[in-house]
Chains A and B, each alone.
Chain A
């Protein structure tokens, strides 16, 4: 049931190259509708291929390691990339936003993944990279989306709801009383994709991890069990990460004097 031994057919280099032709569908569509996406698509495709091929090599090397600090360090590096990428999808910035995102991603992922490897799945040893790294990767990928959505929604919500928030403050509300609606809304929006995906899980989508295990010859019933654990991990890590990042942003964009500090917010002009 472990996915190391090859149960699946090997994809040859030629067929791999052939699969890249599928991207021409996107390029043709972009050209026909003048979406201006051709360049982004090309860059994204190349990045995806290069990153994954490299990761393939790195993982093969990594799975032979038996060095806890090294593996934890790698996990931390993955979390850092996730924390930074989460911020890059938002439309506004404030000083410390990267640190907030990093802290939230790391705390959430460490807590949940830690619990999984020490309690729920219990690989031997706990840092066994064959388990730890893919689990962490899935948790990070999803937490990242939640954090992006929550952070963006929170900042936009404060800006568009500024008059409402300040009216409440002017009437004697505490900063929490004035902002709680915006905070709640941001957290709710950030959790929607996770909840949606759990709702239709198995009906509309067969998740990647489960598909992989099944392709490798694992019994579907066993693969499903992993998938259930991972989905709960994702849901709780996303909730923790979003809660953390929105909470930190709330503290940053308001003051202990119960002021709304939108002057700390700057907008970024970016494309794609």
Chain B
């Protein structure tokens, strides 16, 4: 485990300053500063409806920023280009979606995006290793993605994201549909993946034990 609050000796990956989010008249959070260093697992703590998901979406720039700035490795989004930004600051939604076809076809599809041309590609053995770590065998790749259970869909979405090697992974309730054993396996896999490069994760969870267990640091959302 990493030492608790901020690992200042580690390289700074993401810095957000003075972010604000308002929904209609309702101010969710404001003057929010956030720094993420390599290896950190930042748990977002806030009651439902406090805007945890919206913060993750804001970091991935899926919604326009209402105030403030974000930098990844010292560079603003415009200098990366938005598709590139999102493949480096990758958001995993609470409600994973798959398109028609097999699990493998779904895992391959992000490699076909313009953004990723000439940047490596699909590596089957890497995925099957991860599947093994999650207690699944390679036949999972041949499943019809539209018939997956909620938990299986969540695994698909996780693997689809991990294989792209983002710098910052934004996880919105990543294990909400998983059983206890698989949840443990996912956490172990994430820790191993985070350790393999200068990477960090921000996550939300309704399970306070998971936050205790998995977060290296927590952030409370407040107005």
Residues on A with C-beta less than 8 A from B161 are: 171
Q: Any chain B CB within 8 A of the CB of A130?
A: no
Shortest 3 CB-CB contacts between residues of A and residues of B: A172-B87, A171-B110, A258-B82
**Pair B160/A171 contact, Cβ less than 8 Å:** yes
Question: Contact check: which of B62, B84, B116, B160 meets A169 at CB < 8 Å?
Answer: B62
**Pair B115/A173 contact, Cβ less than 8 Å:** yes
Q: Which B96-121 residues have C-beta < 8 A from chain A?
A: 96-97, 99, 110, 113-116
Size of interface on A: residues with Cβ below 8 Å to B: 17
Q: Any chain A CB within 8 A of the CB of B61?
A: yes
**Pair A170/B93 contact, Cβ less than 8 Å:** yes
**Pair A170/B63 contact, Cβ less than 8 Å:** no
Contact string against A for B residues 68-104, beta-carbon threshold 8 Å, 1 for contact and 0 otherwise: 0000000001000011101100111101110100000
A257 with B64: in contact, given A170-B86, A172-B113 (CB under 8 Å)? yes
Residues on A with C-beta less than 8 A from B77 are: 257
**Pair A172/B60 contact, Cβ less than 8 Å:** no
Besides A168-B110, A173-B83, A173-B115, 17 new A-B residue pairs in contact (Cβ under 8 A), listed by A number:
A163-B93, A164-B99, A166-B62, A166-B93, A168-B113, A170-B92, A171-B87, A171-B110, A171-B113, A171-B160, A172-B83, A172-B90, A177-B113, A255-B64, A259-B61, A259-B64, A260-B62
Instruction: Tell me how many residue pairs across A and B have CB atoms closer than 8 Å.
Output: 64
Complex A-B: 28 CB contacts under 8 Å: A163-B93, A163-B95, A163-B97, A164-B99, A166-B93, A167-B93, A167-B96, A168-B110, A170-B62, A170-B90, A170-B93, A171-B86, A172-B83, A172-B90, A172-B113, A172-B115, A173-B113, A173-B115, A174-B83, A174-B113, A257-B61, A257-B64, A258-B82, A259-B61, A259-B63, A259-B64, A259-B82, A260-B62
Minimum distance in angstroms from B87 CB to a CB of chain A: 3
Minimum distance in angstroms from B223 CB to a CB of chain A: 21
CA gap between A174 and B161 in the complex, in Å = 16
**Pair B164/A170 contact, Cβ less than 8 Å:** no
Residues on A with C-beta less than 8 A from B92 are: 170
Q: Which A150-187 residues have C-beta < 8 A from chain B?
A: 163-164, 166-174, 177
Residues on B with C-beta less than 8 A from A166 are: 62, 93
**Pair A259/B62 contact, Cβ less than 8 Å:** yes
Q: Which residues of B contact A (CB under 8 A)?
A: 60-64, 77, 82-84, 86-87, 90-93, 95-97, 99, 110, 113-116, 157, 160-161, 164
A174 with B114: in contact, given A163-B93, A164-B99, A167-B93 (CB under 8 Å)? yes
CA gap between A163 and B99 in the complex, in Å = 11
CA gap between A258 and B113 in the complex, in Å = 13
Minimum distance in angstroms from B51 CB to a CB of chain A: 15
Minimum distance in angstroms from A48 CB to a CB of chain B: 44
**Pair A172/B95 contact, Cβ less than 8 Å:** no
Residues on B with C-beta less than 8 A from A258 are: 82-83, 86
CA gap between A167 and B160 in the complex, in Å = 11
Residues on B with C-beta less than 8 A from A163 are: 93, 95, 97
Minimum distance in angstroms from B26 CB to a CB of chain A: 15
Residues on B with C-beta less than 8 A from A170 are: 60, 62, 86, 90-93
**Which residue of chain B lies nearest to A258 when distances are taken between CB atoms in the complex?**
B82
Minimum distance in angstroms from B82 CB to a CB of chain A: 4
